[in-house]
Amino acid sequence: MSEVTMEKIVSLAKRRGFIYPGSEIYGGLSGFWDYGPLGVELKNNIKNLWWKMFVKERTDIYGVDAAIIMHQKAWEASGHVKGFSDPMVECKKCKRRFRADQAEGPEGTRRVGGKCSECEGSFGEVRQFNMMFKTHVGATEDESSVSYFRPETAGGIFVNFKNIVDSFHPKLPFGIAQIGKAFRNEISPRDFVFRAREFEQMEIEHFVRPDEWKRWFVAWREEIFMFFETIGIARDFIHESEIGDGDRAHYSKRTIDFEFDFPFGRKELCGLAYRTDFDLRAHTETSGVELSVIVDDATGEKIVPHVIEPSFGVDRAILALLTSAYTEDELNGEARTYLKFNPAVAPVKAAVFPLLKNKPELVAKARDVYEKLKTEVSEIAWDDNGNIGKRYRRQDEIGTPVCITVDFQTLEDDTVTIRNRDTGGQERVAISTLDSVVRQ
């Protein structure tokens, strides 16, 4: 099997309508990507499976969808205004900026032996660059109207902690989950959707008793592996990396990065952090609103819970799925490319074809099969364009697990052929059993 490269993945993602460069007709905008029809479905499948596993199927986790822009004080309290920065150097000659801890700069420029690859200029002092996107809320553009696009979804969870406690009176431990966009003005966005300036996160803040954090930290390690197994990334492909003192985010006392072998190297796919009571205490101090829970109804004893945070990036999960699913092989003597998606995330679950487009009786019958299946299993595609071999290739390339062909025999005995993406093997099944076969 030949190597899976970023070029192949990026090209397939664009060609087949998964992911396009943002603002492409204007030459693109670095760090921004647009999801096309298949990308949206893939993304929704991942988010829905996550929500089902961590919110719907549990009674101790509450979902929220908080505003992206919050009060400036919330970001001061969380430490992001002061500390959410990356080290940066600037070329003294051409003014291009680079992450001081990485070799690459914007638009493919590089730091080569301490010099700028574009103009060979030397660099100034290392400075801290705050990665939050600043904006102004309302018609006045002064310091009081400054706010930020959230750099992580966690912020919206902490500011709603009291609301959840007041509405639902949960007992510890309990969690709050959120899926949504986050924004970081990355100095050097790169590696496709891996390091973007606008991306999506799926985060849980799990509130626990302070003396129980270790137990919950271990439990969440396992949950993380289980989630990736659910979407089709086996645990053997995920590697834990303990983050040492000095390298952790300002709020964390313990962090594990879960890494994946992307084509450009082993890099963080998601993270698990022990955020202590840092955020609840900081928001209490800044807002003046007490953020605590009653742990003993009889005495009214209150505590400030500690927090375990599993933080998943949707876009990195998509890139990991594209990387692990991308397969090149030979089928019936022909080279082919296909995405070996787990059916749970495949954007299209099955495609229905009439064998020939110009035979009305075949088309009508295939249409019936298609309409029926669509009501039973969603995400069914219709394709009557080109010869059957071409249609198979198209579906293979987008990772459709099975293709169903209506042929002349169907008109006689109500059976169809069902063809497996991975093996290319075909079998005949009765239309009456089709939905259960496809589901399986």
Q: Is the peptide bond before 173 cis (omega within 30 degrees of 0)?
A: yes
- Name the nearest CA neighbour of 191 among 92, 307, 274, 315: 315
Among the residue ranges 169-177, 195-203, 335-343, 383-391, the one whose residues contact ligand ATP (CB under 6 A): 195-203
Q: How far is the CB of 208 from ligand ATP (least distance, A)?
A: 19
Rounded Cα–Cα distance for residues 54 and 65 (Å): 15
Q: Which residue is nearest to ligand ATP (CB)?
A: 313
Rounded Cα–Cα distance for residues 424 and 398 (Å): 15
The alpha helices in 132-206, defined as continuous H runs, are 154-158, 161-168
> Considering the rule CB under 6 A, would residue 268 count as an interface residue with ligand ATP?
yes
Q: Measured from the CB atom, is 232 or 271 closer to ligand ATP?
A: 271
Of 124-163, binders to ligand ATP (CB under 6 A) are 152
Which of 184, 206, 283, 349 is in the footprint of ligand ATP by CB under 6 A? 184
Of 201-240, binders to ligand ATP (CB under 6 A) are 201
Which of 104, 191, 315, 396 is in the footprint of ligand ATP by CB under 6 A? 315
H or E element at residue 271: strand 265-276
| DSSP-derived secondary structure letter, 110 | B
**6, burial (CB in 10 Å: exposed 0-12, middle 13-18, buried 19+):** middle
Rounded Cα–Cα distance for residues 317 and 233 (Å): 9
Strand partners for 242:
256
Among the residue ranges 55-63, 122-130, 308-316, 373-381, the one whose residues contact ligand ATP (CB under 6 A): 308-316
Question: Please, which residues have CB within 8 angstroms of residue 65's CB and are 6 or more apart in sequence?
Answer: 178, 179, 180
- # binding residues, ligand ATP (CB under 6 A): 14
3-state secondary structure of 200: strand
3-state secondary structure of 303: strand
Which of 316, 349, 419, 421 is in the footprint of ligand ATP by CB under 6 A? 316
Q: Measured from the CB atom, is 262 or 338 closer to ligand ATP?
A: 262
Q: How far is the CB of 73 from ligand ATP (least distance, A)?
A: 21
Question: Please, which residues have CB within 8 angstroms of residue 277's CB and are 6 or more apart in sequence?
Answer: 210, 304, 305, 306, 307
Q: Measured from the CB atom, is 232 or 354 closer to ligand ATP?
A: 232
Q: How far is the CB of 244 from ligand ATP (least distance, A)?
A: 13
> Considering the rule CB under 6 A, would residue 311 count as an interface residue with ligand ATP?
yes
Q: How far is the CB of 247 from ligand ATP (least distance, A)?
A: 9
> Considering the rule CB under 6 A, would residue 274 count as an interface residue with ligand ATP?
no
Q: Measured from the CB atom, is 97 or 316 closer to ligand ATP?
A: 316
> Considering the rule CB under 6 A, would residue 16 count as an interface residue with ligand ATP?
no
> Considering the rule CB under 6 A, would residue 252 count as an interface residue with ligand ATP?
no
Q: How far is the CB of 183 from ligand ATP (least distance, A)?
A: 9
> Considering the rule CB under 6 A, would residue 271 count as an interface residue with ligand ATP?
yes
Q: How far is the CB of 257 from ligand ATP (least distance, A)?
A: 7
Which of 43, 97, 195, 349 is in the footprint of ligand ATP by CB under 6 A? 195
Number of CB atoms found within 10 A of residue 45's CB: 21
> Considering the rule CB under 6 A, would residue 196 count as an interface residue with ligand ATP?
yes
Furthest-apart CA pair in the chain: how many Å? 79
Strand stretches in 30-109, DSSP E: 33-35, 61-64, 69-70, 85-90, 97-99
Q: Measured from the CB atom, is 33 or 123 closer to ligand ATP?
A: 33
Rounded Cα–Cα distance for residues 20 and 32 (Å): 9
Which of 41, 186, 277, 407 is in the footprint of ligand ATP by CB under 6 A? 186
Binding site for ligand ATP (CB under 6 A): 152, 184, 186, 195-196, 199, 201, 268, 270-271, 311, 313, 315-316
